[in-house]
Amino acid sequence: MFPERGADEDEVLDELRLKTAEDLTFDSGKILGSMCTYPHPFAVRIITEFIDRNLGDPGLHTGSRKVEEEAVEMLSNLLGLERGYGHIVSGGTEANILAVRAFRNLAEVEKPELILPKSAHFSFIKAGEMLGVKLVWAELNDDYTVNVRDVEEKITDNTIGIVGIAGTTGLGVVDDIPALSDLALDYGLPLHVDAAFGGFVIPFAKALGYDIPDFDFRLKGVKSVTIDPHKMGMVPIPAGGIIFREKKYIDAISVLAPYLAGGRIWQATITGTRPGANALAVWAMIKHLGFEGYKEIVRKAMELSRWFAGELKKIPGVYLIREPVLNIVSFGTENLEWVEEELKRRGWGISAHRGYIRIVLMPHVRRGHLEEFLRDLREIVQG
């Protein structure tokens, strides 16, 4: 019920703390299946200081708009592009929708079709439905990467673009983006890479010597990339990223907002009023951590994931779905559903996919938490 009279701040806060006490927190070590983490304290400071900035009316906050452009430029550089065009958006879902929207608007096909791996994130289902684009699902290989030959066979005159994934939601697998890029160039189609998760992992993992295929704008067929700072980028929610290779993609999705403070403004994002603070936090975190800082975060996460995968293999009745590529480890067991229930009953925040359990080695996950988890898992599967 909407209260007639307001209550004291402390009273409201106490009630709120009580109501949210059942939430799992990242510092409890119990959240093992999430792609989010506790944001970096510096990013939290930025959000607090600049909480009022609205990038929906950039004529008011012209400094913030320039900072967003610089954040986009730094992300573009990370992805192998000197100058890119894009925005800090609400997340991977919005970024993917914007990419599909750009491809559709530029294609001018009557019955648009998008070819994407069966491993693609459900945000594409939203995109397809909202944009009237038919989704054509490509088969996966035994290693869970997309079957590039199947992608080719599915190309028709109605195809508006192809999607490849650099860090799949369930297994953290990186598709053969170089082959998809060649295919896209051969057929004159744009390739979108969903690196919502992998974007803040792969460049650093490669620098550490991990053998991961190229996935970004260094491949000429890649026309857009989703890269989310609110996953491994240590920035608070909401912070997604969409980068296009050329300005024409942004132009194709820009809508005129004629009356704003900046005059006739063109707006490409789905959201109108949108947080400037989060875009500033993306900029600030990249400046603060730098390539070396992120590399160190990724080094720890990758090492922990290799160790964890090795420990899982030692438990009889537990098997890896495949060797990890990024810092995501997924495993199966006998009586999986029962094991999932038991783990959840013991307070573990895991992500139960069809056929396996996904563990994401985010920065808040420590070896001690995993040892505790492994003990529980061993106990449960051994009955």
Does residue number 177 form part of the binding site for ligand 0PR (CB under 6 A)?
A: no
Considering only the stretches 107-115, 165-173, 248-256, 289-297, report the one whose residues sit in contact with ligand 0PR under the rule CB under 6 A. Answer: 165-173
Q: Which is nearer to ligand 0PR, 76 or 90 (CB)?
A: 90
Interface pick for ligand 0PR out of 73, 175, 176, 194 (rule CB under 6 A): 194
The nearer residue to ligand 0PR, 96 or 305, going by C-beta atoms, is: 96
d(CA 208, CA 220): 24
197 near ligand 0PR, judged by CB under 6 A: yes
Among 169, 269, 327, 330, binds ligand 0PR (CB under 6 A): 169
Contact with ligand 0PR (CB under 6 A): which of 171, 196, 250, 325? 196
- Residue of 32, 35, 280, 329 interacting with ligand 0PR (CB under 6 A): 35
Half-sphere exposure of 134 toward its Cβ, with a 13 Å CA cutoff?
Answer: 12
Contact 54, 273 (CB under 8 A): yes
Q: Mapped to the 3 state alphabet, what secondary structure does the chain carry?
A: CCCCCCCCHHHHHHHHHHHHCCCCCHHHCCECCCCCCCCCHHHHHHHHHCCCCECCCCCCCHHHHHHHHHHHHHHHHHCCCCCCEEEEECCHHHHHHHHHHHHHHHHCCCCCEEEEECCCCCHHHHHHHHHCCEEEEECECCCCCECHHHHHHCCCCCEEEEEEEECCCCCCCECCHHHHHHHHHHHCCCEEEECCCHHHCHHHHHHCCCCCCCCCCCCCCEEEEECCCCCCCCCCCCCEEEEECCHHHHHCCCEEEEEECCEEEEECCCCCCCEHHHHHHHHHHHHHHHHHHHHHHHHHHHHHHHHHHHHHHCCCCEEECCCCCCCEEEEEECCHHHHHHHHHHCCCECEEECCEEEEECCCCCCHHHHHHHHHHHHHHHCC
Work out how close the CB of 194 gets to ligand 0PR at its nearest, in angstroms, rounded to a whole number.
Answer: 5
Q: Smaller CB distance to ligand 0PR: residue 242 or 377?
A: 242
Minimum CB distance to ligand 0PR, residue 262 (Å): 28
Binding characters for ligand 0PR, 228-267, by CB under 6 A (x = yes): x-----------x---------------------------
Nearest CB to ligand 0PR, comparing residues 57 and 94: 94
According to DSSP, the β-strands at 191-194 and 159-165 are: parallel
Q: Looking at 37, 64, 123, 269, which residue binds ligand 0PR (CB under 6 A)?
A: 123
Q: Which is nearer to ligand 0PR, 32 or 265 (CB)?
A: 32
By beta-carbon proximity to ligand 0PR, the closer residue of 91 and 112 is 91
Shortest CB 316 distance to ligand 0PR, Å: 29
Least distance from ligand 0PR to the Cβ atom of residue 239, Å: 9
Instruction: Give the nearest distance from C-beta 383 to ligand 0PR in angstroms.
Output: 29
How far is 87 from 362, CA to CA, in rounded Å?
25
Task: Rank residues 55 and 265 by Cβ distance to ligand 0PR and give the closer one.
Answer: 55
Q: How far is the CB of 170 from ligand 0PR (least distance, A)?
A: 8
Q: If binding is defined by CB under 6 A, does position 121 make contact with ligand 0PR?
A: yes
Which residues 86-105 are close enough to bind ligand 0PR by CB under 6 A?
A: 91-93, 96
Report residue 13: phi and psi, to 5°.
Answer: -65, -45
CB of 189 to ligand 0PR, least distance (A): 20
Enumerate binding residues for ligand 0PR (CB under 6 A): 34-36, 91-93, 96, 121, 123, 165, 167, 169, 194, 196-197, 228, 240
